[in-house]
């Protein structure tokens, strides 16, 4: 791969190499136990095996009558079969006898299938006539029955370590009888915003200042990656103040994010301070936006240097920080933005050796989409994020993408309507 | 539309009609104010307008030298232009003078653009020689400058009421100086699981019983839709106990979900109890799974009757409850599961007049996917949810989908890798 120079950087590192160094420097967090009512979004830190079959016993899947299927063969409305009604099995209360040929036991959904029975005739296909039931339809063996172990068998690994738990996985844990589960600890993240020009939202804005927005965006991005994140406030561009803020944040966090002052200008103190307190592992990455990103360590704490502009920081976060937070929790890096394919409407130019993240607007075109790059004059243009539907990644081995080519777009916001299909 | 009969239901209502009745019966929740550090996932309850231009002043978008662009015209490494260095403007501290023809002021990124200047020459294209700067490259007006108001202008509506707030939207709020924002209250949901056969996870499992899993899945599904949800425990199939549980849950919640006993069997007490305490609006919907679903009201509380099986309940939740929770918060119904298209590998049969939710497994095929319906013998088969990658919706106006047809699949879990493109 061709190496390229950045603004003020002697050499920029390819993102792939930066990620390999990052992965090597990740220490997985210790596991902890949580109740399943608090487990969604957490990463499983154990292999969960079935301790018993599920269903634990064969049971009725419908309200109706448990029978031997063979007793119903040939039954039809014009030629019913008559079976002797022997009793009733309800959910939570079985029936202790055995169902023989020519016999039936009333069952409700979820009731254990009585011994001898191998099928259930639905309520709607039966008339009850005193001590007899008139069966109007034949059933094959297994019909309307949930067989013991058909869902899963004892000993089977149902959920593997590293799985991100959602509603479905929690339902599986509950059905296994697990009220508590081992998950990775949440990474503790502290976000420091640097810059003399920054003012706290809610305060008066003095001439020449802008409100701090990047730190708030990072807070929510970190939480969406399973972290416990807090802002550590705004720090002025003074060496001593920055040193103290970084040291203090690192002492109580697994990860510190520092926005701004990460480049190589005279007032970009962050790399100097990090090198002084700990060590820099990567600084300057061949990606745009997000070039002046990097990371290092202060003791056991991973410290990221991120650009100050919200838009650039979003991409630095997605390229570096989200994978780090996921790996610390034992999960594979994955992207929360769904991918769709789209046809590019206008050429995107890019530099060989650099990975570009390009915001695009989408428009429907037949069953698919067309993508229009969002023109922006700087990465500080926040409203362009609101106009864009997503972004596309232009890899290092190309000088751009031609008009008319099919590209993959990652969507910030789902484009579809309700789940039921509208 | 053809009306179809369900198991024990005289008539099943089309889902579209059920949703229209649901929408009419929704009362929006009152707004409340939250801090932007707690705003992600909440639904905006105001139109947010820009109170000032952004950037509030024109500023340098790069480290370099602020100039009149015309002073640099014709500059090249072999034919540099020499400008007089007059001062320095830093972020948070402007420079009070004016830049004339043949003059330059050093600027760092974010610094206010000095009066008279209309462009910034990057640091890399300049040599500083005492009181002079040697400019090696020409810049057009506006180059490396973020112009006042180019992001957004005073009075512009940047975020509309009903928007679900994410990291990007919070960044916009912060950049507007907003520390607090009006959002819809979180719907308070209580989940009641009914059934004599249910045992609480973590307890010993008696013969004939199964662990309660559906309520736990609903807990996390509700939270993913922005609700504050708690389980109200397991209730036996006894009229008095159920009545008391529903009354108590309704008194402290905006929405009550009741799982199980919602059909028309002898032991299905939920519809009776709901009719007795309040009123039923819809019961029995032409969808599968989820047919015995319905809803009604108890005073101001919306009460949903849902199937007891976790899989059926998931689809009832997505078809009815998620849209209700979103509408209560003032948001448009939307699906959290990204859509992809896939070619169907095996015919799906469906009944005319009924909407079917069919779980599928996906496999990559070229740039696209192929979908294989997951064979299941009953909706209690939870592990089928783990095997399936998503589901497809078969609408009412068709008797199924043929092998080879292109279908839309909603994914439970994203299929893509890391955001940076790997």
Please judge whether B175 and A419 are an interchain contact, meaning their C-beta atoms are less than 8 angstroms apart. no
Please judge whether A92 and B197 are an interchain contact, meaning their C-beta atoms are less than 8 angstroms apart. yes
Best B39, B268, B378, B388 residue to mutate vs chain A (most A CBs within 10 Å) = B378
Fold of B32-52+152-184: Molybdopterin biosynthesis moea protein, domain 2 (3.90.105)
Give the one of B7, B167, B382 whose C-beta lies nearest to A172's C-beta: B382
Cross-strand pairs, A414: none
In this model, does residue B376 exceed pLDDT 70?
no
Secondary structure (3-state) at A303: strand
* A397 touches B: beta carbon within 8 Å: no
Q: What is the mean pLDDT of residues B373-389?
A: 73
Please judge whether A217 and B171 are an interchain contact, meaning their C-beta atoms are less than 8 angstroms apart. yes
When comparing pLDDT for A195 and A375, which is higher? A195
CA distance A375 to A359: 8
Q: Hey, what long-range contacts does B122-127 have (CB within 8 A, 24 or more apart)?
A: B122/A7, B122/B62, B122/B63, B122/B64, B123/A7, B123/A8, B123/A265, B123/B62, B123/B63, B123/B64, B123/B65, B124/A7, B124/A8, B125/B64, B126/B64, B126/B65, B127/B80
Secondary structure (3-state) at B21: helix
* A272 touches B: beta carbon within 8 Å: no
Predicted confidence band at B1 (pLDDT cuts at 50, 70, 90)?
very low
In this model, does residue B268 exceed pLDDT 50?
yes
In this model, does residue B2 exceed pLDDT 60?
no
Q: B284, B305, B286, B287: which is closest to B295 by C-alpha?
A: B305
A215: nearest CA partner in chain B: B171
In this model, does residue A10 exceed pLDDT 90?
no
Please judge whether A319 and B168 are an interchain contact, meaning their C-beta atoms are less than 8 angstroms apart. no
Cβ atoms of residues B155 and B212 within 8 Å: no
The reported pLDDT for the residue numbered A4 is 53
At A19-47, the pLDDT tens digits run 999 999 999 999 999 999 999 999 999 99
Please judge whether B91 and A197 are an interchain contact, meaning their C-beta atoms are less than 8 angstroms apart. yes
Best B26, B33, B220 residue to mutate vs chain A (most A CBs within 10 Å) = B220
CATH number for region A15-30+186-328 = 3.40.980.10
Give the one of A200, A319, A377 whose C-beta lies nearest to B420's C-beta: A319
* A267 touches B: beta carbon within 8 Å: yes
Please judge whether A263 and B168 are an interchain contact, meaning their C-beta atoms are less than 8 angstroms apart. no
Cβ atoms of residues A412 and A389 within 8 Å: yes
Share of chain A residues as helix, strand and coil, in percent rounded to the nearest 5: 20, 35, 45
Tell me the C-alpha to C-alpha distance, in Å, between residue A224 and each of A143, A334, A340, B254, B390: 44, 12, 21, 26, 22
Domain boundaries, chain B: 15-30+185-328, 32-52+152-184, 59-146, 339-411
At A227-268, the pLDDT tens digits run 999 999 999 989 999 999 999 999 999 999 999 876 666 668
Best A61, A91, A391 residue to mutate vs chain B (most B CBs within 10 Å) = A91
* A127 touches B: beta carbon within 8 Å: no
Cross-strand pairs, A98: A115
Distance from CA of B134 to the nearest CA of A (A): 17
The answer for A 292-331 residues in CB contact with B (under 8 A) is 308, 310, 314, 318-319, 322-323
Q: B417, B168, B42, B39: which is closest to A359 by C-alpha?
A: B168
In this model, does residue B152 exceed pLDDT 70?
yes
The answer for B 229-258 residues in CB contact with A (under 8 A) is 231, 237
Q: What is the mean pLDDT of residues B24-35?
A: 96
Please judge whether A210 and B61 are an interchain contact, meaning their C-beta atoms are less than 8 angstroms apart. no
* A284 touches B: beta carbon within 8 Å: no
pTM confidence score: 0.86
Average pLDDT over chain A reads 91
The reported pLDDT for the residue numbered A2 is 42
The answer for B 85-124 residues in CB contact with A (under 8 A) is 90-94, 108-112, 122-124
Give the one of B168, B265, B420 whose C-beta lies nearest to A386's C-beta: B168
* B62 touches A: beta carbon within 8 Å: yes
Cβ atoms of residues B219 and A41 within 8 Å: no
Average pLDDT over chain B reads 91
Q: For domain B15-30+185-328, which CATH number applies: 3.30.70.20, 3.40.980.10, 3.40.50.720, 3.30.70.1520?
A: 3.40.980.10
In this model, does residue B335 exceed pLDDT 80?
yes
Please judge whether A203 and B177 are an interchain contact, meaning their C-beta atoms are less than 8 angstroms apart. yes
Cβ contacts of B314 on chain A, cutoff 8 Å: 167-168
Cβ contacts of A421 on chain B, cutoff 8 Å: 355, 393, 395
Secondary structure (3-state) at B229: strand
The reported pLDDT for the residue numbered A52 is 82
Secondary structure (3-state) at B314: helix
A94: nearest CA partner in chain B: B208
CA distance B233 to B189: 13
Cβ contacts of A231 on chain B, cutoff 8 Å: 37
The reported pLDDT for the residue numbered B6 is 53
In this model, does residue A356 exceed pLDDT 90?
yes
Please judge whether A208 and B57 are an interchain contact, meaning their C-beta atoms are less than 8 angstroms apart. yes
Cβ atoms of residues B325 and B331 within 8 Å: no
Q: Which of A26-40, A254-268, A371-385, B54-68 has the highest mean pLDDT?
A: A26-40
Predicted confidence band at A91 (pLDDT cuts at 50, 70, 90)?
confident
Q: What is the mean pLDDT of residues B81-98?
A: 89
Cβ contacts of B212 on chain A, cutoff 8 Å: 174
Strand ranges inside B299-367, DSSP E = 301-306, 339-344, 348-349, 355-365
The reported pLDDT for the residue numbered B418 is 79
Q: Can A15-30+186-328 and A59-146 be said to share one CATH topology?
A: no
Cβ contacts of A110 on chain B, cutoff 8 Å: 195, 197, 210, 308
Distance from CA of A131 to the nearest CA of B (A): 18
CA distance A212 to B51: 16
What length does chain A have?
422
At A275-311, the pLDDT tens digits run 999 999 999 999 999 999 999 999 999 999 999 888 8
Number of H helices, E strands in chain B: 8, 28
CATH number for region B339-411 = 2.40.340.10
Backbone angles phi, psi at B51, to 5 degrees: -90, -10
Fold of A32-53+153-184: Molybdopterin biosynthesis moea protein, domain 2 (3.90.105)
Please judge whether B109 and A263 are an interchain contact, meaning their C-beta atoms are less than 8 angstroms apart. yes
Backbone angles phi, psi at B390, to 5 degrees: 180, -160
Cβ atoms within 10 Å, residue A244: 13
Please judge whether B335 and A172 are an interchain contact, meaning their C-beta atoms are less than 8 angstroms apart. no
CA distance A259 to A279: 17
Please judge whether B142 and A337 are an interchain contact, meaning their C-beta atoms are less than 8 angstroms apart. no
Please judge whether A202 and B56 are an interchain contact, meaning their C-beta atoms are less than 8 angstroms apart. no
Residue B14 DSSP label? P
Q: What is the mean pLDDT of residues B226-244?
A: 95
CA distance A197 to A219: 20
Q: Hey, what long-range contacts does A238-245 have (CB within 8 A, 24 or more apart)?
A: A238/A269, A239/A269, A239/A272, A239/A273, A242/A194, A242/A269, A242/A270, A242/A273, A243/A273, A243/A276, A243/A277, A245/A192
The reported pLDDT for the residue numbered A367 is 78
Q: B403, B394, B389, B388: which is closest to B343 by C-alpha?
A: B403
Total CB pairs under 8 A between chain A and B: 373
Secondary structure (3-state) at B336: coil
CA distance A359 to B347: 39
A170: nearest CA partner in chain B: B217
Q: A258, A200, A391: which is closest to B173 by C-alpha?
A: A200
Distance from CA of B365 to the nearest CA of A (A): 15
* Residue A420 exposure: Cα atoms within 13 Å on the Cβ side: 28
Q: What is the mean pLDDT of residues A319-323?
A: 97
Cβ atoms within 10 Å, residue A411: 20
Give the one of A109, A224, A393 whose C-beta lies nearest to B421's C-beta: A393
CATH number for region A59-146 = 2.170.190.11
The reported pLDDT for the residue numbered B330 is 97
CA distance B420 to B410: 23
For residue B81, what are its two tokens? 């232009």
The answer for B 137-196 residues in CB contact with A (under 8 A) is 142, 145-147, 150-152, 158-159, 166-180, 195-196
What length does chain B have?
422
Cα-only R_g, chain A: 31
For residue A215, what are its two tokens? 């730190």
At B191-213, the pLDDT tens digits run 999 998 899 999 998 877 889 99
Please judge whether B123 and A414 are an interchain contact, meaning their C-beta atoms are less than 8 angstroms apart. no
CA distance B134 to B117: 17
In this model, does residue A378 exceed pLDDT 60?
no
Least confident among A366-380, B48-62, B75-89, B376-390: B376-390
DSSP per-residue letters across B42-56? -BB-S-EE-SS-BSS
* A420 touches B: beta carbon within 8 Å: yes
Please judge whether B414 and A335 are an interchain contact, meaning their C-beta atoms are less than 8 angstroms apart. yes
* A57 touches B: beta carbon within 8 Å: yes
Residue A237 DSSP label? S
Q: What is the mean pLDDT of residues B230-238?
A: 93
In this model, does residue A1 exceed pLDDT 50?
no
CA distance A324 to A225: 10
The reported pLDDT for the residue numbered B308 is 86
At B304-317, the pLDDT tens digits run 999 988 888 999 99
For residue A291, what are its two tokens? 């070039």
When comparing pLDDT for A103 and B2, which is higher? A103
Secondary structure (3-state) at B246: helix
Cβ atoms of residues A357 and A408 within 8 Å: no
Cβ contacts of A335 on chain B, cutoff 8 Å: 414, 416-419
Please judge whether A40 and B224 are an interchain contact, meaning their C-beta atoms are less than 8 angstroms apart. yes
For residue A45, what are its two tokens? 């830190």
What are the start-end ranges of the H helices in A82-184?
A: 167-175
A411: nearest CA partner in chain B: B338
């Amino acid at each position: 791969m061709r190496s390229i120079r950045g603004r003020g950087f002697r050499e920029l590192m390819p993102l792939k190499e930066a990620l390999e160094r990052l992965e090597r420097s990740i220490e997985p967090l210790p596991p902890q136990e949580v109740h399943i009512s608090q487990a969604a979004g957490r990463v499983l830190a154990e292999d969960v095996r079935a301790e018993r079959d599920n269903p634990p016993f064969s049971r009725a899947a419908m309200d109706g009558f448990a029978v031997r299927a063979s007793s119903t063969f040939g039954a039809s409305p014009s030629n019913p079969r008559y079976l002797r009604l022997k009793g009733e099995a309800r959910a939570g209360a079985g029936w202790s006898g055995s169902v023989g040929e020519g016999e039936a036991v009333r069952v409700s959904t979820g009731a254990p299938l009585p011994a001898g029975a191998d099928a259930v005739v639905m309520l709607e296909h039966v008339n009850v006539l005193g001590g007899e039931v008139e069966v109007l339809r034949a059933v094959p063996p297994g019909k309307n029955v949930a067989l013991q172990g058909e869902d899963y068998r004892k000993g089977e690994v149902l959920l593997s370590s590293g799985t991100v738990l959602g509603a479905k996985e929690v339902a599986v844990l509950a059905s296994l009888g697990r009220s508590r589960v081992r998950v990775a600890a949440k990474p503790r993240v502290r976000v420091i915003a640097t810059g003399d020009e920054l003012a706290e939202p809610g305060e008066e804005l003095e001439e020449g200042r802008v409100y701090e927005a990047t730190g708030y965006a990072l807070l929510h991005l970190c939480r969406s990656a399973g972290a416990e994140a807090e802002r550590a406030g705004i720090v002025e561009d003074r060496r001593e103040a920055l040193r103290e803020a970084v040291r203090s944040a690192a002492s109580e966090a697994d990860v510190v994010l520092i926005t701004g002052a990460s480049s190589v200008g005279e007032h970009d103190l962050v790399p100097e301070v990090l090198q002084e307190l700990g060590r820099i592992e990567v600084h300057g990455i061949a990606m745009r936006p997000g070039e002046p990103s990097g990371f290092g360590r202060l003791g056991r704490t991973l410290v990221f240097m991120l650009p100050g502009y919200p838009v650039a920081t979003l991409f630095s976060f997605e390229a570096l920080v989200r994978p780090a937070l996921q790996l610390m929790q034992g999960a594979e890096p994955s992207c929360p933005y769904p991918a769709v394919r789209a046809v590019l409407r206008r050429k995107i130019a890019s530099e060989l050796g650099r990975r570009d993240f390009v915001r695009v607007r989408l428009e429907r075109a037949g069953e698919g989409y067309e993508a229009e790059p969002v023109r922006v004059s700087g990465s500080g243009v926040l409203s362009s994020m609101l106009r864009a539907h997503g972004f596309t990644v232009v890899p290092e081995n190309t000088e751009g993408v031609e008009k008319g080519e099919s590209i993959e777009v990652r969507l910030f916001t789902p484009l579809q309507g309700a789940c039921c299909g509208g």
